[in-house]
Every structure is written in structure tokens, then in C-alpha cells.
Chain A
Amino acid sequence: MRRSTLWAVPTIPLLILGATGCAPEGSGGGDSAGDESITVAYQTTATYTQVDSLMKQAKEDFEAANPDVTVELEPIQAEENDYATKLALMQRSPDTAPDVFYEDSFRVRPDAEAGYLLALDEYLAEWEDWDTGFIDSAKQAGLGSDGQTYAVPMGTDTRALWYNKVVFEQAGLPVPWEPKDWQDILDAAAKVKAAIPDAIPFNIYSGTGMGEAASMQGFEMLLYGTEDTLYDTDQGKWIVGSQGFKDSLQFVSDVYVGGLGPDVATALDSNYYQQLNGEGYPTNKVGASIDGSWIAGSWLEDGPAPWPEWSDVMGVAPMPTQDGQEPGATSMSGGWTLAVGSGSANPDAAFDFISTALNKDNSLSYNVNASQVPVRSDVAEDPAFTESSPVSGFFSDLVEVTHYRPTTSDYAEISGNIQQAMEAVMTGEQSVDEAAAAYDEAVTSLVGEDNVSRG
């Protein structure tokens, strides 16, 4: 008895390992027998299911046209940061790397340099829609630093001020609201706070928990409305020590430390984004907020949080520049893409899947459902898009004043440093000058003294 139990102890884990180790799920590797399959990885959350719908539709279309290829969908339930981490970890091993994946445009360059992505030029040359349908400026989103195209854009987006007309009327503020500079925003927030104490007067995403939303909807919407930017494209240098950087942090501090924003604990909770979109806006608990063009997507009839009255209640206004300087408004654009894994055993089928997922019909319904700004001219002109939402024209027009993030492979990490600086300021742990100095130091040590310029 004693002897046999001793044997059992080491063999049990062996058995478990044997059972799990032999069955890597839905690997992108070569299929030995008969039917081929490709795996498709993408993000889905409780309030963001539009990509999931798109992929399900594309799978149906693709499998109807290619009966011998099976599409395996691998939705990843995670917020933006965690999704990026999980995807990068999957891409590191050929056994788990998906054939097709949903990829944020700012990660295309670093991921192409890391060798995760397949260059698509020869496929794109044979795809008629790429020449006739896609807008040239939008194609930039898929470029790698070697000039080859690694990803196909699905749509782009712009950012602006959303405000709640019910809240604004209660606070005695004018509707439509047309703030001319940052001070107008703070003044309006102060009035909302005085009139409705339990509402969030003004929201700006901030801190590490919010990930890229804090950098882009938060910090960069401020910074690109000052005289400064993050990166000097002509010289290829990161800008440190600029006045605009400090002024932007000061604004974050004015909102949070000044009591004009959500309370800090709420804003740092990683569920904040979901709460705001699903509850905060629809229950008239938010005065104004800097947010993306896509948020209305979740309120559509078949969206994850239907809110039929949203177009009567929510108003939009362009984000003003710091002191109202030219061009008066600013915005930031990003967008997501579809890419093929470099290790894909079946790149032809993988690209075919992308061309199905982003053909005119599927692009149209995705751009409408996710409230995206189209990257296909045939979608942008289609009445089904232009009449889909009362704000689609507003957000498309912001493309004129919009900015793009620096497209270097260091951006992802520098964005993390921006979020840390914001968090330090919003919690009051560091002064604006201290947080800006910490950022300067982190950036300098990351890219090297030669690649920074003093603003």
C-alpha cells in the first residue's frame, strides 16, 4: 500500500501534463488531415461586442464561400491593456499564434519589428478593393517602419466632448454647448457640480488602470491642443520638459484634485469605463466627458446597452484648444486593424478571411454598429452610413483637425509613462513639476539622450 501511493504521487501530475500538453487548443499550426482551419483572435467586452458580431458574420460568409476551410473564432474577454498583453503572449509562440487578429494601429509597427506580422503587399496588390475602396491616408495605419503594409484598417475614430443636455439644462448651462478654451470646460464643470452634487461634473480618463484610453482620450486630447506635442516628427525626437506637457498635467490636476471630476478611487477602478458607458451617461450622472466617436455604438438598438433616447440627451462639441488658439479645436485618431500572423500555416486563407471581413457590406455594418469613421470611401458615402447616426457627420468632420499618435515602436511604453504621470498627479502624490520630471527621466532613459529634445 505504502509503496503504491509513493508511485502515484509523481505520476499523477505526469498524467495531467500528458493530457493537457498533447492538446494545444485551436493552434494555428499546420493541419495534418483533410480540412484546413484558421484561427481568428479578437477582443470582446461586456460593452464592446461589435467586433464579435463582425467576426461571426465574416465566418459565416467565408465558410459559405470556402467550404473546405473552418474558421475558429477565439474571442478574448479583456480590457484593452490585457488584450494587448494576451495577444503578444500568444504571438510569441508559433503553437498559439492566431492566423488573423484584431490589432490596435499603434501596435502595428512594434509588432512588425518583432516579426509577429506578415507583410501583406503581394496580397493587397491583388485585392481590387484596396485600390478602389480604401482611403489613401487611412492606409498609413497599417504601415511598418520598413514601408511594407502589415495590417488592413477597419475604421478610424475621432474624439470630442460629449455632454448631457439634461444635466446641462439643470445646471443652467447653454445648450448647444460651445466651449472655446480649457477654462470654459472647467467653468461649466464647476456649475454642474454646484447644481447637481451627486453627478460627475466632468470626466477625463486618467491613470494606469484606464490604459491607452487615459493617454489618448485623456492626456493627448489636451497636449495636442497646446503649442507642444509628444514627438518631433521632423527630427525624430521625443519632446521632454515642454510647457504644454505641464499645462496638460495641471488640467488633470484641476479636474481631479479640484473636485471637478469623478472621485479618484472610482476613476482608477478598471471597471470605470464600463460603468460610465453602461450606467453613468444613460442615468444622467455625467455632465461632460472627453470620449470617443464610438461610444454611441453601445447604445444602438441591438448594441450591448440599448438607450434609444441617447441622441436627444447627449450632445457633442469639438474639444477646444488650450486658449482657443488656431485651429480652435483638436482631436486624436487611432483605429484598429486586422493583421495576419507571420507564422500562419495558411496565409492565403487568412488574408481571404480579412478581405471578406472588411468587404464593403461587412465594413458598412461594422462602421455603423461601432460608430466608427469609415476608412473606405464607398462606405463613407453610402446613405446607410451617413443617415445611421446624428453624430456620424460631426465625428467624420473632425478628421480635419485630428492628430495621430507617434508611430514609433517606443510609443506603447512611453504611453505607459504618461499614464503613470497622470496617476501621480490625480492622486496628489506628486506635484505637476515632479510628475513631469519623472516622465522626462523615464523617456530619456528609454530612448537615450540623443533621441530627446528639450521643449
Chain B
Amino acid sequence: MTTTPARPLREGRPPTVRPGPASGRPAPPGRSVRRAIPLVPAVVLLLLFMLGPVLWSVWGSFTNAALSGRAASEPRFVGLDNYVALLGDPDFPNAVWLTVVFLLVSAVIGQNFLGLGLALLTATAPKIVRSVVATTVVTAWVLPEIVAAFACYAFFSSDGTLNALTGFVGLEPVEWLFAYPLAAVILANIWRGTAFSMMIYEAALNDVAPEITEAAVIDGAGGWKRLIFVTIPMIRNSISTNLMLITLQTLSVFTLIFVMTSGGPNQRSSTLPLFAYAEAFGLGKIGYGTAIATVMLLIGAVFSFLYIRVLKPGDAT
């Protein structure tokens, strides 16, 4: 990793102790408070727009709030009724299962490995190749989500691009969005999200000191060995950060699936966000929908916790 720049001395005040590691020196009182001031707006925003909705969602999940009818004007506190109903709802395990498959296949396996692969391959490629690949991959990422979703819908729909392509080689058209809805949205999410992982890994690979790689070459390590024993341990922090970010992003993917399949047919691509939407806004059960949203929050928290514990970002390498 890069070396820490020398700590600048404060003007007109010779150090009384030798500047050692930062943690070993007690900070002058008041300094950390002053240093925290610039964070205040961000913290206020977080409290207002993150914690606020979270608390509201938790509270809403204990009520029978509805979009219309008497429960809309006078929602009642119903305790854990929504959660009990959720556990008995056959659609819930279905949605959890689809979410897990969608998450693992499209983010953890698809985006993550494809992104790493592309970053490794283009790292040593000629500049022209690198910029062509980067432009192609990043285009999907730059598109607004709704545009990307329509592009995917047009690609997979019955008279779409994919069927036109397979038609050239004489294959029968397939109703992709109907026959393989989950696979279609997984491919779409990989297509859309890979650029993010690729960019994170490109930046991380730039930080791997060439001397170390060279030393490994001199010691006789081949490509795979260098990747597994040198590169990956050195970018472990980035892997963990990337996994956490794409996991949370993928957990909340809604527009892409909603436009392509609306969670159908017959709930076969209804991940938790789609399930929550259908219950809250399709059937008007706001309380029940927020209970599902709260469960999603918990799942996200569990994944974040796992990544932090297992991959230990922040451990200096």
C-alpha cells in the first residue's frame, strides 16, 4: 500500500514528544470536536433520510396501515401480527429464496468475478483495448436504471434482439421473460452492474506495488500463483468493500425487475423488493409491506456484518 505521508507539524510549536504512530499520541482536547464539525451536515442528512425512514418502517410494520379504507386514516397498532402473517405466507419463503439466488448469482458471482476478471485482463492490455472495453462496460452503468431496464426488456422480449439473433442461426424464438424470468433479470443485473466492480478493482490493482509483483515473478510464481498469493491478499480490502456495496445494491434492485417482469409470471421473479411493493401498493397493505422492508434491512445488515467480520477490511496489509 502507499506509505502514509509525514504528519505535518503544527506551526510555532515544537513537538514535546517524538511523533510516533498516531494512536500513541493523545490528541489535544477540543481538536476532535473541531474536526468533527464538517461531518455534521452529513450526519444530520443521514439521520434525517436514513435513520428516519428506517424507524418509520419499523414502526409501520407494527401497524395495520393501509393505502385506503379505514386503516388508512386510523392505523392501529397490531404488534407482531404482520410478522406472524409473513412467516405463514407461502410467498415469503419463495421471495427470500429468489432474493438469495439473485444476490449470489448476479452480484457475488457474476458482477464480482466478471469485474475482477476484466480488471485483471485490461490491466496489462494495450491502451486502445482498455478504453474500448471500459467504454463498453461502463455504458451500461452510466445509463439511468429505467433506461437500462427498458433496454433489457427490449433485448429479452418475445420480438426482441435476442430472439432476432437466435433466429439468424435458425433457432425457434423463446419467451425469455416468461420461460426464464429469473435468469433474464440475473443476466440483466450482471450486465448493468459489472462496471462498478471493474472500476473498483482497476483502482485497487493500480495500488499493488509493481516491485512486489516483480519479486514474485523472480521467485518463480506463475500467473495463477501471483493472483492467489500476491494480488488477492493485497486487494482484500477492496474485495470486501466491493462485495458489501454490490450486495446492498443488488438487494434493493427494483426498477430493473419491475420493468422486465414485474416479479412474474406467477411470482417467479418476485424478489423481496418486488414482493414488498406488490403487497404495499398492489394490495394496499402498507403495514405488511413495511414488515417485508424491515426484514430486507435485517438481511442487508447480516450480509454487511459477515463481510466485515470475514474479510476484515481496515486491517492494514
Contact = CB atoms under 8 A, between A and B. Distances in A.
B85 interface: yes
Contacts of A265: 158, 175, 177-179, 265
A183 interface: no
Interface stretch (A105-113, A293-301, A376-384, A390-398): A105-113
Contacts of A110: 68-69, 72
B282 interface: yes
A104 B73 CA distance: 20
A423 B264 contact: yes
B70 interface: yes
A3 to B, nearest CB: 8
Interface stretch (B37-45, B103-111, B302-310): B37-45
A357 B282 CA distance: 30
A10 B41 contact: yes
Interface stretch (A148-156, A329-337, A348-356, A408-416): A408-416
- Interface majority SS on A: helix, strand, loop or mixed? helix
Contacts of A208: 262, 264, 278, 282
B266 A416 contact: no
Interface in A71-121: 81, 85, 88-89, 92, 107, 110-111, 113-116
A319 B299 CA distance: 50
Contacts of A270: 262
Contacts of A13: 45
Contact of A412 (B68, B157, B265): B68
B203 interface: no
Given A268-B265, A424-B266, A111 B68 contact: yes
B13 to A, nearest CB: 20
B281 interface: yes
A423 B68 contact: no
Contact of A14 (B41, B67, B73): B41
Interface residues of B, number: 30
B285 interface: yes
B93 to A, nearest CB: 15
Contacts of A7: 38
B87 interface: no
B178 A445 contact: no
Contacts of A114: 66-73
Interface in B37-77: 38-39, 41-42, 45, 66-73
A427 B266 contact: yes
Interface string B171-183: 0000101110000
B69 A268 contact: no
Given A10-B42, A413-B284, A268 B264 contact: yes
B283 interface: yes
Contact of B284 (A11, A88, A263, A429): A88
A86 to B, nearest CB: 9
A337 to B, nearest CB: 15
Taking residues whose C-beta sits less than 8 angstroms from the other chain, chain A's interface range is 35 or more
A209 interface: yes
Given A6-B38, A427-B265, A85 B281 contact: yes
A125 interface: no
Contacts of B41: 10-11, 14
A132 interface: no
A118 B13 CA distance: 73
Contacts of A88: 67-68, 72, 284
Contacts of B66: 114
Contacts of A116: 68, 72
Contacts of B285: 413
B59 to A, nearest CB: 16
A81 B282 contact: yes
A264 B268 CA distance: 14
B262 A429 contact: no
A277 B55 CA distance: 46
Nearest to A416: B283
Given A114-B73, A263-B175, A423-B266, A10 B45 contact: yes
Nearest to A12: B41
Given A107-B68, A113-B70, A265-B178, A412 B264 contact: no
Nearest to A415: B283
Interface in A3-22: 6-7, 9-11, 13-14
Contacts of A115: 72-73
Most buried by A among B177, B178, B179: B178
A266 interface: yes
A313 B154 CA distance: 32
Given A113-B73, A264-B265, A423-B266, A409 B68 contact: yes
A409 B69 contact: yes
Contacts of A9: 42
A263 B173 CA distance: 13
In the A-B complex, list the 4 residue pairs whose CB atoms are closest, starting with the nearest.
Answer: A265-B178, A114-B72, A10-B41, A265-B175
Given A89-B281, A424-B266, 13 more contacts: A6-B38, A88-B68, A110-B72, A111-B68, A113-B68, A114-B70, A115-B73, A208-B262, A264-B178, A266-B158, A413-B283, A423-B265, A427-B265
